[in-house]
Amino acid sequence: MPTENISQKEQKEDYFVQATLNVADAEIPNVPCKIFLPDHITEKPLLKFKPTDEQYSCITRSHEGSLKAQLIGFDKKTEVSIFSPKVYFSNMETRYWGAALSESSFIGEPQHLQVVNHLKSEQAPQNTSLTLWITPNPMLGPAISSMHHYTGNIEHTRVRQLNFAISDKLSISFDKHFKVKEINKNEIKQWSYIVGMTEIDIPAIKVDTVRKEILPQIDDLLIIASLGSRTRTACIGWQASDHQDLVTYYRGEFAFPSGQSEPSCEQGLVWLKDFGEFLGICYPAFLRFSDQSAIRKAIISVVPGQKKVLEQSFLSMFAGLEALILVFRKEKELEFVVSDPTEWKYIKKIIKQNIFKSIKQELSKEQRTYIYTKLNELNQISLRSAFERFCKHYNIDLSDLWPLFKTRDIFGLSDIRNKLIHGDKLSDEFPDALWVAEENLRFMVERILVKILGFPVNKTEVSQDFLKKYSTALRMMHEEQIKISRFFSKQEKIGVRS
């Protein structure tokens, strides 16, 4: 449930309208509504409603609805159109001031809010200027040199600016925009935010078309940028303008990344001087990859955008790794030992017959049934075998990292994963070991992604030479491997499931 912070309470509304709500297929017109648009792009718009008693009784039938509103000028023409296809309602309350007097209110969280200023221009149609709002990323924004003048003005000069051709028809230029707000008569506040600027041939008012045709391409580029910078990055809205309309769009039903970067010696997985090259190599490789969702899942696991506890982070990264291996399994037919279902059915029948004949006396019918239910697992090629083929195919050397599977007396990262998936709280007993293992798994997934996407590993922070020199986790690895492996071995001896 959303709560109002101090800034929201002090902020003055941007619009006050008589909104039309559609709730549970009922249209409710003329609902008084104040619309608060965010000062910072990483914040979200907010609606405050003051309905009549009759309106309130209709609205409380559901926790969500849609909204539309218009501002009509003195010339009787529409100046501003506001629309949100979904609004989540909360903080519903009624205050009673007597037997016949009450006041109702509630908060609305609009999703995909569109604010359209109609420019009423008579000029011929033109390309649409699109300014995309991008969450903080230390590598995307330009380097800016600032000069303070005696008049109080500040002049900003771009020293380095990233331009990228997403396709033949779409190029984007990353920049920083500045916003100034007067706090009081003697104080102003200025801040910057990253934008991506481009021109498109879609009318500004066609928000859904931009979402379907342009936004996915931007999202794909930013997911690759997230990996290279170790900072989860996303487009969270935009302003689009042509001669007819100025449209402001706030992305909805989307968790905004925090903007915090994952730990790095410098700024990211690759160094700033190589970031443009990284995008130029890895983005086309991503588009060529057979299952892009697996790449996305793996990247999000190592660059989550929100801080996670150790166990959650470890399991997420292991799932990201498995997603990549699964794609390889399917492509190389490494899922099943016997791929023909009819043939496997026949083989399984023979195995069951032999089990029955060989150990009929040793096991009860119920015990044999338990074994029969596990037979299908015999037809599945092990993750270990698939992973070995996977690393050989992509020429991935992971010999310096904590092994994924058990080797001699050292338990692997997969063993740790099995413990965690069964609810063991390893961070309570072995916080250092779990952190070291989690770091090694992160390095492993990042190195694999870099290899799949074709960028030179030796130009990243997960190269063997770099990690050997700078990684605390690798220096601690041997000692922590011994600690946790002794613990696992002891559990196995007393029959604890792993």
Q: How far apart are CA 255 and CA 245, in angstroms?
A: 28
Nearest Cα residue to 443 out of 384, 391, 401, 392 = 401
DSSP 303-319: S-SS---HHHHHHHHHH
- 136 lies in the same domain as 228: yes
Q: What is the pLDDT of residue 152?
A: 66
CATH number for the domain that contains residue 52? 2.30.110
- 242 lies in the same domain as 157: yes
498 domain residue, yes or no: no
- 427 lies in the same domain as 469: yes
Q: How far apart are CA 404 and CA 457, in angstroms?
A: 19
372 domain residue, yes or no: no
62 domain residue, yes or no: yes
Q: How far apart are CA 85 and CA 108, in angstroms?
A: 12
Q: Please, what are the averages of pLDDT over each run of 10 residues along the chain (498 residues)?
A: 46 93 95 95 95 93 96 91 97 86 93 94 82 95 76 74 94 91 78 94 96 97 97 97 95 91 88 96 97 98 91 96 96 90 89 82 83 87 94 97 93 94 82 94 98 98 96 95 89 62
- 256 lies in the same domain as 140: yes
DSSP 453-464: HT--GGGBTTSH
Give the E-state strand segments of 161-231 in sequence order.
Answer: 163-165, 171-184, 187-200
Q: How far apart are CA 306 and CA 40, in angstroms?
A: 18
Q: What is the pLDDT of residue 99?
A: 73
Nearest Cα residue to 84 out of 209, 236, 249, 206 = 249
With beta carbons less than 8 A apart as the criterion, state whether 197 and 176 touch. Answer: no
CA distances to 34, 39, 76, 115, 238 from 11, in Å: 11, 9, 29, 18, 22
| Domain range for 143 | 122-284
Whole-structure pTM over 0.85, yes or no?
Answer: yes
- 161 lies in the same domain as 49: no
With beta carbons less than 8 A apart as the criterion, state whether 116 and 245 touch. Answer: yes
- 204 lies in the same domain as 128: yes
The three-class DSSP label of residue 478 is: helix
- 131 lies in the same domain as 239: yes
CA distances to 87, 209, 242, 246, 314 from 205, in Å: 20, 9, 9, 8, 43
Task: Find all residues with CB under 8 Å of 134, minimum gap 6, and list them.
Answer: 140, 174, 193, 194, 195, 196, 222, 233, 234, 235, 236
Give the E-state strand segments of 161-305 in sequence order.
Answer: 163-165, 171-184, 187-200, 235-241, 245-250
306 domain residue, yes or no: no
Domain boundary among 284, 315, 331: 284
Domain count, the chain: 3
Domain boundary among 117, 137, 169: 117
55 domain residue, yes or no: yes
Q: What is the pLDDT of residue 397?
A: 97
- 25 lies in the same domain as 157: no
Q: What is the pLDDT of residue 498?
A: 41
**Any idea of the CA torsion for 108, 109, 111, 117, to the nearest 10 degrees?**
70
